[in-house]
């Protein structure tokens, strides 16, 4: 990567052993880890997993039970709770989320085991796989399920973030603050995952949302760098709300619109 006069002027991309040089007018970083800022050697907000502890995730295929309704999920969680009480499953199995995936018949099994996921990843993976085996053995609709891939993976919630012209703060979120250069809205609670595996939520006022400013997507250090998704410029509390999928999609679209504005007018102002 080459930088001149606060601009990224060249990026070398390696593909199949060959290096292709790109001369960008503007770069949008959607890496989820502030990769462009890191490669450029400019300041970033370092990730902090102290209250955003990773989860263990196993994708399951061939699942026929619907998960759209709360009742469906409660029946499964009740079966897991009975299995823990009977000594069939380990304590901690109740800290599971079952989420539909995009592919038909596929479910994401996400287990929140706190620091165990990082300190003993092999044990945590085994725990998750045992839970998947229980579902296959004991819960209707999971009889033909099987893990996708070879093993469970660690899903990190925290990441490095770009330092922007504006820093979205936890106070902005909880006060449902609105700004004139709004490019997206957010309404998710400040969601933290503790070392115990438990979830902590701090909600916004009922019916309120906060706005994400264009300045939180524009780098404070490079004039032609935008960041979207969970690398937006935000403090640890704010990103605990804004990192959810809805905000990531909205800020991705907003960054694309800002880039289009640059192409048309030479200005990345909100429009």
Structure tokens at 123: 């044990």
pTM, to two decimals: 0.84
Distance (Å, rounded) from C-alpha 162 to C-alpha 229? Answer: 10
Task: Provide the mean pLDDT of the chain.
Answer: 90
Give the rounded percent of residues in the chain with a pLDDT score beyond 90: 60
Instruction: Decide which of 142 and 263 is more confident.
Output: 142
Determine contact, residues 208/172, Cβ cutoff 8 Å: no
Q: Is 10 helix (H, G, I), strand (E, B) or coil?
A: strand
Nearest one of 86, 48, 97, 124 to 198, comparing CA atoms: 97
Determine contact, residues 230/92, Cβ cutoff 8 Å: no
Give 20-47 pLDDT, tens digit per residue.
999 999 999 999 999 999 999 999 999 9
From the CB of residue 154, how many other CB atoms can be counted at a distance below 10 Å?
13
Give 45-79 pLDDT, tens digit per residue.
999 998 999 888 888 999 988 777 778 788 889 99
What pLDDT sits at residue 117?
Answer: 67
Buried b (16+ CB within 10 A) or exposed e, 24-59: eebbbbbbbbbbbbeebebebbebebebbbbbbbbb
Give 92-150 pLDDT, tens digit per residue.
888 888 888 888 888 888 888 887 766 777 788 788 888 989 999 998 889 998 888 76
Distance (Å, rounded) from C-alpha 198 to C-alpha 34? Answer: 27
CA angle (218, 224, 229) in 5-degree steps? 40
């Amino acid at each position: 990567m080459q930088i001149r006069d606060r601009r990224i002027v060249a990026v070398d991309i390696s593909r199949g052993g060959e290096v292709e040089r790109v001369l960008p007018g503007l770069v949008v970083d959607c890496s989820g880890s502030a990769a462009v800022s890191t490669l450029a050697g400019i300041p970033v907000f370092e990730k902090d997993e102290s209250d955003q502890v990773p989860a263990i995730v196993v994708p399951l295929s061939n699942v026929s039970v619907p998960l759209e309704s709360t009742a469906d999920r409660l029946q499964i969680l009740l079966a897991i709770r009975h299995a823990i009480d009977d000594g069939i499953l380990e304590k901690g199995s109740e800290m599971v989320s079952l989420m539909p995936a995009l592919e038909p018949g596929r479910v994401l099994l996400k287990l929140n085991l706190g620091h165990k996921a990082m300190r003993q990843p092999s044990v945590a993976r085994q725990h998750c796989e045992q839970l998947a085996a229980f579902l296959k053995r004991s819960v209707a609709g999971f009889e033909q399920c099987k893990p996708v891939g070879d093993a469970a993976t660690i899903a990190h919630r925290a990441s490095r973030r770009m330092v922007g012209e504006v820093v979205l703060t936890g106070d902005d979120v909880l006060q449902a603050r609105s700004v004139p250069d709004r490019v997206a809205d957010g309404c998710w609670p400040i969601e933290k995952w503790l070392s115990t595996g438990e979830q902590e939520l701090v909600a916004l006022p009922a019916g309120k949302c906060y706005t994400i400013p264009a300045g939180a997507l524009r780098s404070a250090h490079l004039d032609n760098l935008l960041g979207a998704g969970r690398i937006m410029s935000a403090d640890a509390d704010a990103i605990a709300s804004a990192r959810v999928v809805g905000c990531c999609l909205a800020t991705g679209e907003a960054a694309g619109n800002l880039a289009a504005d640059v192409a048309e007018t030479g200005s990345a102002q909100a429009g």
